[in-house]
Structure 1
Amino acid sequence: MIEPIATHNLDRYGNAELPWSRPHGILADEKTAAQDLTYFIATVRPDGRSHSAGVGAVWVDDALYFVSGPDTLKSRNLAHNPACSVAVRLPGLDLVLEGDAHRVTDPSTLERVAAVYRTSGWPASVEGDAFTAAYNAPSAGPPPWHLYRLTLHTAVGVAGAEPHGASRWDFAH
C-alpha cells in the first residue's frame, strides 16, 4: 500500500484523524472498479483558468489511472501542465486526489489497466500506445484514447459515514 508521509486531522468537531487505509481499501478493492463511481478531473488551462470534466478512472497497483481522448481539453491542459486533482464520492467518504498526471505508453501497464477496465464493463483493448473500444463517453471523441497515471501528492477525505472525520494525507513525490 502506498503510504502517506504525513496525516493531518482537518476535523473541527473532535473526531479522530482518518487512516489512509480507509480510502485506500475502498479504491484497491476489486469490487470498486465495477461500481458506478463518477470521477471528476480538474485541470488548468494555459491561461490559468480551471477546467473540470468526468473521466473513467480505476485504481490499479496502487495508482489511479484514467482515460482521455488526445484532442480533449483535459488532455491538452495536461500536456501543458500535468498538475490536476481528481474527485470521487466513495461509499461513506468523499475523496480528492491531487498530483501530476502523465501519459502512460508502457505496453505491460496498458495491458494490465485495460484488463481492469474490462472487468468493470468497458471493453478496452490496447492498440499501439493507447486504448480502443467499441465505445467510450461521447465527450471522449473517437479512438484511440490515452491512458494517464496520477502521481499522488496529496489526498483529502471527508467521511459521511461512521467513523466521521476529515483528513489530509501527504505523499512523497
Structure 2
Amino acid sequence: MTEASETKNLDRSGLAELPWSRARDLLATQTPHEDLTFFVGTVRPDGRPHAAGVGAIWVDDALYFVSGPGTRRARNLAANPACTVSVRLRGLDLTMEGEAGRLTDATTLERVAAVYREGGWPAAVVDEGFTASFMAASAGPSPWHLYRLTLHRAIGVATAEPHGATRWDFSR
C-alpha cells in the first residue's frame, strides 16, 4: 500500500495536516466511476512544459493512465519519465509528482483493462497495450500504451471540510 514516508502541513491558517488516506481513498472510490479529468504534465526535449488531459484510474494502490504511442506526452515520457498528474477530486485538489513507466505485462494490462471497463471504457488488451471502440481523437491509432505513476510526492488542498493543505513525500 502506498504510504507517505513524510508529511508537511502547508496550511498557514492553523488547520491540521491532511492524512494521505483521504487522497488515496478518494482516488480509489472516484475512479473509474466518476467523470474526472486528470492532467499529465511532462517536459519536452527542449525543456518546455507540456500538459494534456488523460483518462486515469487508481488500481491496487497505484495510478495508471493511457497514451497513444505517437503523442507528445508519450514521446516526452520516453525521453524523460518525470511527470506530474493533477486532478480535482470531490473535496480535494490533488497534484502528484513522480515517474511514469510503460507497462507491457499481460497480467497488469488485463487487471487495469478490467477496471477501465467497470468505468465504461471498453478496453481490451492487444499487442502490449490497449484497444477499444473509442478513444480521444488525439491519441492516434491503437494499441495505446499503459503507464503507471511511481509516486514521489503529492500535494493536496482540501476544498471541503476538514480544510487544509498538505504535502506527502513517498520513499523512493
Displacement after TM superposition at 1:6 (Å): 0.2
Instruction: Report the TM-score, using the length of structure 1 for normalisation.
Output: 0.98
Give the partner amino acid of 2:171: A
CA shift for structure 1 position 47:
0.6
Instruction: Assess if the C-alpha contact under 8 Å between 2:127 and 2:143 holds in 1.
Output: no
Match of 2:51 in 1: 52
Q: Report the Cα distance in structure 2 between the residues aligned to 1:112 and 1:14, rounded to whole angstroms.
A: 42
Deviations 1:44-90 (A, max 9, x none): 00110000000110001111000000000000000000000000000
Give the paired residue count.
172
> TM-score, normalised to structure 2's length?
0.98
Percentage of pairs with the same residue:
68
Q: Report what 1:28 is aligned to.
A: 28
Contact 2:54 2:65 (C-alpha < 8 Å) held by counterparts? yes
Alpha-carbon separation, structure 1, partners of 2:28 and 2:119: 13
Matching residue of 1:113: 112
Q: Would you say the 8 A contact 2:95–2:155 is kept in 1?
A: yes
* Aligned position for 1:91: 90
- Which amino acid in the other structure matches residue 167 of structure 1? T
- Stretches of 4+ aligned residues off by more than 3 angstroms: none
* 8 A Cα contact 2:65 2:147, kept in partner: yes
TM-fit CA distance, 1:25:
0.7
Q: Secondary structure at the match of 2:18?
A: coil
Contact 2:95–2:154 under 8 Å retained in 1: yes
Q: CA deviation at 1:128?
A: 2.0
Alignment correspondent of 1:2 = 2
**Structure 1, gaps ≥5 residues long:** none
Give 2:127's aligned amino acid.
G
